[in-house]
Amino acid sequence: MKRSLVPVIYDFKRSFLRISTLVLLVVFIVAGVALSYLSYTMISSLAGPVRTIGLLVIDNSHVTVYGIAYDFAGKPLHDATLIFLSSSGQKILETKVSGTYKLEFNLPTNTSINRVKIISNGRSLVLPVFGLQPPDVKPCVYYYATYDAFPMSEAGGVLGFSFNETSRTGTLLAFSLLIIDKSSGEASLQVVAVNTSRSDLKPHLTLLVGSAKISHEPPAPYIYLSKHPINAEYHALTIDKNIVTTTVKYNPEDNYIIVLIKGSDKAAVINVNRLQPAKSFMVGSMLSSSGLTLFLNFFPIVFLYLAYVMLAKPKATGALEFILARPVTKWDLYMTRFLSGVLVALVSSAIFVVALDIASLVLWGITFSPYVSTVMFLALFVGLTAWYSFCYMIASGIKGSSGYLAVSIVLYLLFAMFWGLIVFLIMMSTGMGISTSGAESLSYKINLFNPIKISDLILYYMRLHYGLISPISWINPAIVASVSIVWIIAPFIIGYLLFKRD
Amino acid sequence: MYVLFSVEDVTRYFGRFKALDNISFNVDNGEIVGYVGLNGAGKTTTIRICVGVLRPSSGDVVVDGYSITRQKREASFQIGWVPELPIFELNEKALDYFVYLAGYYGLSKDEARRLGKELFEQVGLSKFMNRRLKHFSLGMKKRFALAVSMINDPRNFFFDEVLNGLDPKGIAFFRDLVKIFKREGRAVLFSSHILSEVENIADKVVFIHKGRIIAVKSIDEIRSMARPALVIRVSNPDDKLAKILEKYGDVRVKGDKYILFYKEQPDKNQILRELIDNGYEVEEFRTARTSLEKVFFRLIGMEAGEK
């Protein structure tokens, strides 16, 4: 017998293209992006996207500064203000800088530079100034860098070259490597170098940058200095200016980036896995927390309502009987209306993820990696489908449509609004506290019993990706898949058994 | 004539209440069958089982050789149903909802729209295709249900109290339609409280009372059960009048009327002449027949008496 998909498509269109669905989808996308933007600006004002690296050469009281001001995508900052401060907080120099900068000034008597403050777009960072030589050496070199202040996206260090141990002169090179995109193996390299053997301070050396796959995990979290040569495919970079900024390509399969000066035996070895592209980290973690949470907590209202209009109401008014008089079985009808709801979950989840992606591209200039987008989409789709399946079951089992609304709204409030309180009370009753790793694990376990929060289990992988959570041993893809399937299939089957009763 | 659908030993319980008790009857092709019973007798339950929206507790309905319980999809292809109440999703526009329902018959959107326009024209709804069903009157809703019931050009129709709430024009429309269906060899089962309409249209009447079929009578049998009578009213009645009339049959006096139930077809002119010759001023003189309603109540009474 000829079957048609027309009813499924039609039910989908009726569900998705209804004003309530579309309005709420738009509202939650806008609210999600807005909330994420708010959280982002708050966090970035604390941790700051303002970056700089610099070397100060102090010869008697004459100070020469070479530095670079850049943002967290490695692009030059054109409106930064640099303030050099003494240990007592006295302002020694305040000047505007744009991208790479060279500054020269005289130091007041009995004053030393203790800190450097960089301000851009209302965000500021105060950086300590470190001496690279004993203070009696002339000229004496100091450095400051933001990678120590905000090290989750960049790593750097200071390398020496052709150093005369007696006069303590030679080339000192400070660098910072900022991961831009891990999937394509792109990093931004900022280099500041001075040769104190020369009066013009000009360096002349070749910097080698390469990557390698190292199976043994070194102890240092971000960067360590290796005294042994490391086999890698190196790209040579001539450093014949005091300031060099460049983009570096590395093999994304590799887990380490090695930076060394040609001819030197010391190499800076950077653990790429410990670094996250700063911008995508901040934007991603903001969107994934506030934006997604808002959507996941409130958009299920749409599915509560869809189960009402697709099943509870027509069942109560007898409209389903009129459809059942067509060449369909109860199974066909039950399945058709369920599938249309699943399609709405599929499309709205996809739209939400794409909208966030577009918003992050427009507002922050980055897009999510395919992995993050997929995890976000799956979390939304599974969470919404599981909740729809649950509401569908209630609609099948309860005769009156108002009875359905009462029960489903109470359960929604329980699962979406008061669940956090329940989790908190359980944690308190176990004496576990809320900030331990055990508590985190317990929270995920409690969420297994909530069809809306099941998406949290999938989002675990995104939080893990951004390093926002420590690995939890019992969570693995098989468990996540099984629990998701059970939350979708079990209410669906129970609902059908209730539905087919006359 | 051959059987198009048959109700076979159908019993249906709602909880412990037995709504239908082992009922059976057939409807042949080209046959219009009236389904008559008091409220709550089981008419709608029977029809809901016939169209496959309610399962019988036992028994079956066979439609064109297909069991409604075991071959629901195939059987439903042969069925058109106009329910008593407008049980649609009323927020939908008429043609859109028609297209949606036609999808269950495997029609594409274009096919369904074309057919929808054609059928809406036939049932007189062509001007209201884009109106939401909630804005339809009861009669329009019934016409809409009729259009939907004709999607697959079925050979069996079930009309449940289809005339209820219709204006005379609507009643005439459905009456004429049923006659067309009969000519086309389709089978129609229709329940109705308007027994005069059943009498006018039906070939056969199935009487149901308290969930049991108490009689299945052809319309000829019903007519033969009905006792013809003459209703007579004169301005100057007296004791002699009843005696004159008793020569022709049984006489009952109801108010100022004399009702003569005659045994054989009398010469009405002769009765009238005799009354005039005897000095009576005749004000009313007409034939009356016992209605289907009375037959029905007589059957119910018999049923009660037998019990």
> CA end-to-end span of chain A, whole Å?
26
Residues of chain A in contact with residue B72, where contact means CB-CB under 8 angstroms, are: 327-329
Domains identified in chain B and CATH numbers: 3-86+136-223 (3.40.50.300), 227-289 (3.30.70.100)
Residues of chain B in contact with residue A326, where contact means CB-CB under 8 angstroms, are: 76, 101, 104-105
Backbone conformation region of residue A360, classed left if phi is above 0, alpha if psi is from -120 to 50, else beta? alpha
Return phi, psi of residue B232, to 5°: -130, 135
Residue A140 sits in the same domain as residue A184: yes
Tens of pLDDT, residue by residue over A399-445, are: 889 999 999 999 999 999 999 899 888 888 877 666 666 788 888 99
Percent of chain B with pLDDT over 90: 53
Residue A114 lies in a domain: yes
Instruction: Quote the minimal CA–CA distance from A381 to chain B in Å.
Output: 26
Residue A60 sits in the same domain as residue A25: no
Yes or no, beta carbons of A327 and B77 under 8 Å apart: yes
Residue A1 lies in a domain: no
DSSP one-letter code for B128: G
The CA distance from A191 to A413, in Å, is 55
Q: Which of A214, A249, A274 is the last residue of a domain?
A: A274
A426 neighbors A442 (Cβ within 8 angstroms): yes
| Closest chain A residue to the Cα of B108, Cα to Cα | A6
Residue A221 sits in the same domain as residue A268: yes
Residue A297 sits in the same domain as residue A319: yes
B81 touches chain A (CB under 8 A): yes
* C-alpha dihedral sign at A198, A200, A201, A205: negative
Choose the closest CB to A317 out of B74, B79, B87: B87
Query: Side chain identity at A6, as an amino acid letter?
Result: V
DSSP one-letter code for A13: H
Choose the closest CB to A327 out of B76, B83, B89: B76
Mean pLDDT of A218-243: 80
Yes or no, beta carbons of A4 and B53 under 8 Å apart: no
- Provide the mean pLDDT of chain B: 88
Mean pLDDT of A52-70: 92
- pLDDT higher at A376 or A14: A376
pLDDT at B108: 87
Query: Side chain identity at B115, as an amino acid letter?
Result: L
- Provide the mean pLDDT of chain A: 85
Residue A151 pLDDT > 60? no
Choose the closest CB to B87 out of A3, A318, A502: A318
Greatest pairwise CA separation for chain B in angstroms: 78
Residue A223 sits in the same domain as residue A291: no
pLDDT at A24: 84
Q: What share of chain A is helix, strand, coil (3-state, %, to 5)?
A: 45, 25, 30
Residue A43 pLDDT > 70? no
SS3 call for B135: helix
Residue A285 sits in the same domain as residue A428: yes
Angle, helix B94-103 to helix B138-149, in steps of 10 degrees: 30
Tens of pLDDT, residue by residue over A293-338, are: 888 888 899 999 999 999 999 999 889 999 999 999 999 999 989 9
Residue A167 sits in the same domain as residue A316: no
B106 neighbors A1 (Cβ within 8 angstroms): yes
Backbone conformation region of residue A7, classed left if phi is above 0, alpha if psi is from -120 to 50, else beta? alpha
pLDDT at A452: 92
A187 neighbors A271 (Cβ within 8 angstroms): no
Total number of domains constituting chain A: 2
| Closest chain A residue to the Cα of B81, Cα to Cα | A325
- pLDDT higher at A54 or A124: A54
Residue B307 pLDDT > 50? no
B174 neighbors B200 (Cβ within 8 angstroms): no
- pLDDT higher at A8 or B97: B97
Instruction: Quote the minimal CA–CA distance from B70 to chain A in Å.
Output: 10
What is the Cα gyration radius of chain A?
Answer: 30
Residue A160 pLDDT > 50? yes
Q: Which two tokens stand for residue A204?
A: 């002349």
Residue A213 lies in a domain: yes
Tens of pLDDT, residue by residue over A359-410, are: 877 776 667 778 888 998 999 999 999 999 999 999 999 988 999 999 999 9
B73 touches chain A (CB under 8 A): yes
Instruction: Give strand pairing partners of A265.
Output: none
pLDDT at A123: 74
Q: Which of A214, A239, A274 is the last residue of a domain?
A: A274
Q: Which two tokens stand for residue B83?
A: 């329910």
CA nearest neighbour of A260 among A383, A386, A158, A364: A158
| Closest chain B residue to the Cα of A327, Cα to Cα | B73
Residues 6+ apart with CB under 8 A from A273: A255
Q: Which domain holds residue A343?
A: 6-43+279-499
Residue A388 sits in the same domain as residue A356: yes
Report how many helices (DSSP H) and strands (DSSP E) chain A contains, helices first: 14, 18
CA nearest neighbour of A208 among A181, A195, A189, A186: A189
Yes or no, beta carbons of B104 and A314 under 8 Å apart: no
The CA distance from B72 to B70, in Å, is 6
> Most A CBs within 10 Å: which of B13, B49, B100, B160, as the mutation test of the A interface?
B100
CA nearest neighbour of A501 among A294, A315, A246, A281: A315
Residue A423 sits in the same domain as residue A296: yes
Instruction: Quote the minimal CA–CA distance from A451 to chain B in Å.
Output: 29
Residue A204 sits in the same domain as residue A337: no
| Closest chain A residue to the Cα of B93, Cα to Cα | A14
pLDDT at B1: 60
Q: Which of A274, A301, A323 is the last residue of a domain?
A: A274
Residue A410 sits in the same domain as residue A439: yes
Q: Which two tokens stand for residue B269?
A: 């002119």
Mean pLDDT of B64-76: 93
| Closest chain B residue to the Cα of A326, Cα to Cα | B76
Residue A307 sits in the same domain as residue A208: no
Sorting pLDDT into bands at 50, 70 and 90, what band is B165? confident
